[in-house]
């Protein structure tokens, strides 16, 4: 059995044909039309999926199920976007599952959608860093901060499907001149406001760094050249990330913790202070919990989205 997994993010949309052992046979990536609204995005996604279905058919593979991991709060029962930030304009209210199925002439039950970090975690639990574990906590630090707690193969979605939005609780690091730093969710003083990639760029600017920076990568480059403000900025962001991960582990007691995202891929300058902060925050009983980097890279959400439909109903029950 095969399925198509779709990773629909604010910048790009990737999709691949995945086998029932978690192997990505082939994949394609397109830009997400994040300024053009939900209809345009679904049209482009349907074309991408249709192309992959055609490639699979040419190879003698039948694909008739599609799993989608998408940005925003997704009602996993209906596949509708409940709410979203302005990273994708006009995304809230989009009926991903029903409308994508209609465009592909598939039965409505053949297309299912959840938040993209849940599919990332499902991928890592199936064939990645958390494979073979009974429970895992994945936290991703990149453009935003998100997470997923997977228990016995099922992500905890929450009663209103908001589970996993771990960037939106208070961090003592998210303050400047005594005031909480604004967060993209409309609140302030949250983990995402200090520990995400865009937050690193903004923190460097707030601290009056000597060089112009366009993104977190620019700040890391300056740190590598010995820029003291860049080094401090990255250290604070990593410490905030680690404290958040450690606190979540204290609450959830996972068998293993997986950290992913663009910042986790930045290497030792971020990972080492992050790990120190995690270990400092953990309760004594959790001192030995494994803290692992994600291993599937960009394929994780594709693999996890396919897993979503290959395992069908149990994942999407309210929990």
Nearest alpha-carbon partner for 141 in 290, 296, 249, 260: 260
Residue 318 has pLDDT above 70, yes or no: no
Fold classified for 134-294: Nucleotidyltransferase; domain 5 (3.30.420)
Residue 126, Cα to own-chain centre: how many angstroms?
A: 16
Q: What is the pLDDT of residues 282-298, one digit of tens each?
A: 999 999 999 999 999 99
Q: What is the pLDDT of residues 297-310, one digit of tens each?
A: 999 999 999 999 99
217: left (phi over 0), alpha (psi -120 to 50) or beta: alpha
**CA distances (Å), origin 319, targets 45, 100, 149, 160, 161:** 29, 25, 12, 10, 9
Return the structure tokens found at 233.
């900025």
Nearest alpha-carbon partner for 133 in 305, 266, 289, 318: 289
Quick one: angle between helices 228-252 and 197-206, nearest 10?
140
Does the fold of domain 134-294 match that of domain 2-121+298-316?
A: yes
271: left (phi over 0), alpha (psi -120 to 50) or beta: alpha
pLDDT value of residue 301:
97
Between CA 40 and CA 43 the distance in angstroms is 5
pLDDT value of residue 312:
65
Identify whether the C-beta of residue 76 lies closer than 8 Å to the C-beta of residue 114: yes
pLDDT value of residue 199:
98
Between CA 242 and CA 214 the distance in angstroms is 24
Q: What are the beta bridge partners of residue 14?
A: 7, 29
Q: What is the mean pLDDT of residues 211-224?
A: 97
Superfamily of domain 2-121+298-316: ATPase, nucleotide binding domain (3.30.420.40)
Between CA 3 and CA 113 the distance in angstroms is 13
Q: What is the pLDDT of residues 15-58, one digit of tens each?
A: 999 999 999 999 999 999 999 999 999 999 999 999 999 999 99
Between CA 41 and CA 20 the distance in angstroms is 28
Is residue 85 very low, low, confident or very high in pLDDT (cuts 50, 70, 90)? confident
Note the pTM of the prediction, 2 decimals: 0.93
The domain limits of the chain are: 2-121+298-316, 134-294
In degrees, to the nearest 5, what angle opens at C-alpha 123 toward C-alphas 119 and 126? 135
Token pair 């707690």 is at which residue? 149
Nearest alpha-carbon partner for 79 in 111, 110, 118, 122: 111
pLDDT value of residue 319:
44
């Amino acid at each position: 059995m095969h399925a198509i997994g779709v990773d629909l993010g604010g910048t790009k949309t990737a999709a691949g044909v995945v086998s029932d052992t978690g192997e990505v046979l082939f994949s394609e990536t397109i830009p997400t039309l994040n300024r053009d609204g939900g209809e345009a995005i679904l049209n482009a996604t349907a074309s991408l999926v249709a192309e992959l279905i055609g490639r699979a058919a040419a190879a003698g593979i039948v694909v008739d199920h599609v799993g989608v991991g998408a940005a925003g709060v997704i009602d996993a029962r209906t596949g509708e976007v409940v709410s979203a930030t302005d990273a994708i304009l006009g995304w809230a209210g989009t009926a991903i599952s029903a409308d994508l199925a209609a465009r592909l002439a598939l039965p409505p039950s053949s297309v299912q959608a959840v938040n993209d970090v849940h599919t990332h975690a499902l991928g890592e639990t199936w064939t990645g860093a958390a494979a073979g574990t009974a429970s895992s906590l994945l936290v991703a630090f990149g453009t935003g901060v998100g997470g997923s707690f997977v228990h016995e193969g099922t992500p905890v979605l929450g009663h209103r499907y908001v589970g996993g939005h771990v960037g939106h609780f208070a961090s003592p690091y998210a303050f400047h001149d005594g005031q909480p730093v604004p967060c993209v969710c409309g609140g302030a003083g949250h983990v995402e406001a200090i520990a995400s990639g865009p937050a690193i760029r903004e923190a460097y600017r707030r601290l009056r760094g000597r060089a112009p920076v366009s993104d977190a990568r620019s700040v890391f480059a300056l740190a590598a050249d010995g820029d003291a403000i860049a080094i401090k900025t990255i250290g604070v962001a990593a410490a905030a990330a680690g404290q958040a991960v450690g606190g979540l582990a204290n609450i959830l007691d996972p068998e293993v913790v997986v950290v992913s995202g663009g910042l986790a891929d930045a290497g030792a300058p971020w990972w080492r202070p992050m790990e120190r902060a995690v270990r400092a925050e953990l309760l004594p009983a959790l001192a030995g919990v494994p803290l692992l980097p994600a291993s599937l890279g960009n394929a994780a959400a594709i693999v996890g989205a396919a897993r979503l439909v290959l395992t069908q109903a149990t994942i999407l029950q309210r929990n």
